[in-house]
Amino acid sequence: MNIKFAFEKETKGAVRFKEQSDKPIVGTLYIKKEALPELDITKNDELNIKITRAGLPGQISLESEEIK
């Protein structure tokens, strides 16, 4: 499952991204400002988060992919 997020607001220590859907699954995603350079993400980027089940039932892993 792929979920798209767009910049919503900058807070004191994080950037808040809002899910771009009429029926949100995650809703809001916060990424700490200090982690943005490591992830090569800016607040102007749209994000595509892929949620997949890991090896054991109930485990979820997240991958992010930058969309420009």
The residue range of the domain holding 55 is 2-67
Residue 61's pLDDT is what?
Answer: 59
| CATH code of 23's domain | 2.40.50
Into how many domains does the chain fold?
1
Residue 16's pLDDT is what?
Answer: 95
Predicted model pTM? 0.74
Q: Mind giving me the DSSP string for the chain?
A: -EEEEEEEEE-SSEEEEEE-SSS-SS-EEEEEGGGHHHHT--TT-EEEEEEEE-SSTT-EEEEEEEE-
Residue 64's pLDDT is what?
Answer: 59
Per-residue pLDDT band for 5 (boundaries 50, 70, 90) equals very high
pLDDT single digits (tens) 12-68: 999 999 999 999 999 999 999 999 999 888 888 899 988 877 766 666 555 655 555
